[in-house]
Amino acid sequence: MVKIYSEDLTADEQKTIIAAWRRRCTIRDQGRKDLGDAIENRGSQITLSVLGQQAPLSAKESWDPLFAKRKS
């Protein structure tokens, strides 16, 4: 894969966003580490996977089927 374009966040922006996620959200940092990290820094975006990146699709779908938790 060859990167053609990327508008990455600065190191300070990345730290600020990650700190905000940790303050604001109840994320799955404790418990099942085998399901992967909850916060992923992709350089140009910070992704939150509340149940973990490797959580099964069925768990992800049942966590917030009406998007109520995500909207709050």
* pLDDT score of 9: 95
3-state secondary structure string across 7-70: CCCCHHHHHHHHHHHHHHCCCCCCCCHHHCCCEEECCCCEEECCCCCCCCHHHHHHHCCCCHHH
Span 9-37, pLDDT tens digits: 999 999 999 999 888 776 554 445 678 78
Q: pTM of the full predicted structure?
A: 0.64
